[in-house]
Structure 1
Amino acid sequence: MADFKYDIVQHLGVISENTKGWTKELNLISWNGAKPKYDLRDWAPNHEKMGKGITLNNEEFEALKDLINKL
């Protein structure tokens, strides 16, 4: 697997926490120095490990917000 870098530019919030202390978080993350994107995934305590997640650009995030607001 190729090396990658990430920088949590802004922690937006925790959605849930499991019994092992992992949290599902929404953050703005810069992947490999690129423009930050919205990122939703599970994180181990202290962000030393991450689970699979989804990354959305601004337009995708706005579309998701609109969908959720229509529910």
Structure 2
Amino acid sequence: MANIKYEIKEEIGVLSESSKGWAKELNLISWNDREAKYDLRDWAPGHEKMGKGITLTREEIKKLRDILNGMEI
């Protein structure tokens, strides 16, 4: 598997943390020197390992915000 280069530009927030210390985080990340995107995934302590996640553009995260704001939770 090829190495994936990433740089966390901004740590936005932690949604939850597992008993093993992994945290589900929303961050702004540049993947392989590309424009930074919003990223939601599980991270090991120190960000040395990551789980599967999703990346969203600025437009996509705005749309997601609007959808969530419209939900009755």
| In 1: Cα distance, 2:5 partner to 2:55 partner | 15
Give aligned pairs, total.
71
The one-letter amino acid paired with 1:29 is I
CA positional deviation for 1:3: 1.6
RMSD: 0.5
**Percent identity over paired residues:** 63
Report the equivalent of 2:25: 25
The one-letter amino acid paired with 2:70 is K
The one-letter amino acid paired with 1:48 is E
CA positional deviation for 1:10: 0.1
Where do 5+ consecutive residues of structure 2 fail to align? none
Report the equivalent of 1:5: 5
* TM-score of the pair, normalised by structure 1: 0.97
